[in-house]
Amino acid sequence: MSPSPSPTTGPPSTALFTDQYELTMLQAALADGTADRPCVFEVFARKLPAGRRYGVVAGTGRLLPAVEAFRFGETELQRLTGILDTRTIDFLADYHFDGDIEGYPEGELYFPGSPVLTVTGTFAAVVLETLVLSILNHDCAIASAAARMASVADDRPLIEMGSRRTHEEAAVAAARSAYLAGFATTSNLEAGRRFGIPTAGTAAHAFTLLHDDEAAAFAAQVASLGVGTTLLVDTYDITEGIATAIRVAGPELGAIRIDSGDLGVLARSARRQLDSLGATGTRIVLSGDLDEFAIAALRAEPVDVYGVGTSVVTGSGAPTAGMVYKLTEVDGRPVEKRSAHKVSHGGHKRAIRRYRPTGTATEEVVHRVGAGTVAPVPEEHDREITVPLVRGGVALPQPTLAESRDHLRAAMVSLPWEGLKLSQGDPALRTTLLGGADPHGAER
C-alpha cells in the first residue's frame, strides 16, 4: 500500500513518485555538466477547468513534508539499477532538495497564469516535478470543486463522504482539501487521525436491513448512539420511516437522513411531517449524488446538512487541476518553449493582487524578479500573494489547516461578485504579466 521506508528513521520515502524521464534527463545533465546550472521551475495552470471562475490552492501542507521525504534509500536505488548509470545513482544517494520554494499559500485563489509555486535550485530539481504536480493537481482540483459547494451551501454544513469513490489514499487527501475549502466534517477516519479534521457519520441501509424491522434498527441505533443520532429513513417508505423514527426516538431525535428520490420534494414533506410530530428541532440531512448545482437547487428547501460524495472527491467534472511544472529560468536568463500551441513566458515571477478600497480584488499582477526586472508601482491596496515556503531545503512554518480555511473564506469574499456564480464564465480576476503579455499565454 505504501512506499518503502526511508533509510533514516522518518517518513516513507517519496522519491519514486517520479516519472522515469526526470532521472534519465538528470543523468544526461550530470554527464555534460549542465545539471549544476541554477534553474527556476514554475508551477502554473494555463487555464481553469471549462467555465470555472477561480481555482483554490491546496496541498501545500502535504507537499512540504513530501519534499523533505524525497530521499533515495537502498530500496529506491535498487530499483534504479539498470535504468541509470552509476554516477547518477551515486548522486541520488546523496540527493536532497536544498533550494528554495515559494508560492501561493494554501487556501489562496489562483487564476490562469498565476505562478502558484516556484522552485529555485539547480537543474536537479527537475526530479521533484511529478511529486509536486501529483499533490497540487489532485488537492487543488478537489478544493476548487469543494469551494464552489461550500459557497452555495452558505452556512449549511457539508459532510464530505466520498471516500468510497476514490483511491483510498486520495480519499484522505480529498477530505483534507474539502475541509480546507469549507466542508464541516468528513466521514474518513484516517483524515481525522492524520489531519485532525472533525469526523462524522450517520447510518447505512445495511443497518436497517440487518434488523427484523425498521423500528428495531432505529431503537438499536438510538440506544447505542443516543437520541442525537441521525436515522436513515429511506430504506423502505420514507413517510413510514419518519413516523417510525419519531415514534422510536421521540421528538428530540437529532436528525433524519434521506439518500434517494427527489430530494427537494422529500425535504419539504419530511419537514412538514417532522413538525407535525413535534420534532421541530430534528434536522434533515440530504445526500445522494449531490454536486454544487444540486446543492444550489436545494437552497430554498428545508435542508439542514448536505452529505456530498462522488462529486467532491472527483472534482465535480474536473478531477485534475492541469497544472504544469516548467523550467522558466536558467543561469539567471528567462527560458521559454516557443511552439505554437503551448506558449510559456520565462523568468522567475511573483504575484501581487490589487484591491479596491472596499476590499474587492481587481487584478492580479505577475511580475518578474531578479536582475534587470522592474517591480510593479505600488498601489495603496496591494497584497503580496507569493510567500516563502522552503528555504535551503528546510520547510518554513506554515499556517494550520484551520488558518488556511479562514484565509480562503476571506479570499472568496474579496472576489468580484460575479466570480462566485456557478454558471460557466471567465476567470473572476485578470492575471497580467507586468511588461509582457498574459503570463504563459493563459487562456482566459
| Contacts of residue 352, Cβ cutoff 8 Å, sequence gap at least 6 | 364, 365, 367, 376, 382, 383, 384, 385
DSSP character string of 360-407: -EEEEEEEE-STT--PPPP-TT-EE--EEEEETTEEPP---HHHHHHH
Q: How far is the CB of 385 from its own copies (least distance, A)?
A: 24
Q: Shortest gap between Cβ of 381 and its own copies (angstroms)? A: 36
How big is the chain by its Cα radius of gyration, in Å? 25
Closer Cβ to its own copies, 133 or 365, answer by number:
133
Distance of alpha carbon 225 from alpha carbon 218, whole angstroms = 10
Instruction: Return the number of the residue (76 or 292) whose C-beta is nearest its own copies.
Output: 76
Nearer to its own copies among residue 169 and residue 406 (C-beta): 169
Closest distance to its own copies from the beta carbon of 420 (Å): 25
If the CB atoms of residues 110 and 325 are measured against its own copies, the closer one turns out to be: 325
Minimum CB distance to its own copies, residue 187 (Å): 4
Closest Cα to residue 235, out of 219, 253, 257? 257
Q: Which is nearer to its own copies, 191 or 429 (CB)?
A: 191
| For its own copies, the closer CB: 222 or 365 | 222
Q: Are 67 and 128 in contact (CB under 8 A)?
A: yes
Q: What is the C-alpha to C-alpha distance for residues 175 and 310, in angstroms, rounded to an integer? A: 12
Q: What is the spatial distance between Cα 290 and Cα 157, in angstroms, rounded to a whole number?
A: 13
Nearest C-alpha neighbor of 157 from the set 167, 145, 149: 149
d(CA 377, CA 325): 29
d(CA 289, CA 360): 34
- Contact between residue 62 and residue 135 where contact means Cβ atoms under 8 Å apart: yes
395 burial via Cβ count (<10 Å: 0-12, 13-18, 19+) = middle
Q: N- to C-terminal Cα distance for the chain?
A: 40
Nearest CB to its own copies, comparing residues 83 and 413: 83
Q: Min. distance of Cβ 417 from its own copies in angstroms? A: 32
| Site of grid cell 483524515 | 191
Instruction: Provide the minimum distance between the beta carbon of 313 and its own copies in the complex, in angstroms, as a whole number.
Output: 8
Grid cell digits, residue 319 = 478531477
CB of 305 to its own copies, least distance (A): 14
Select 8 or 280, whichever has its Cβ closest to its own copies: 8
Min dist CB 265 to its own copies, Å, is 12
Nearer to its own copies, 108 or 160 (CB): 160
Min separation Cβ 289 and its own copies, Å = 10
Q: Which helix (H) or strand (E) holds 248?
A: helix 238-249
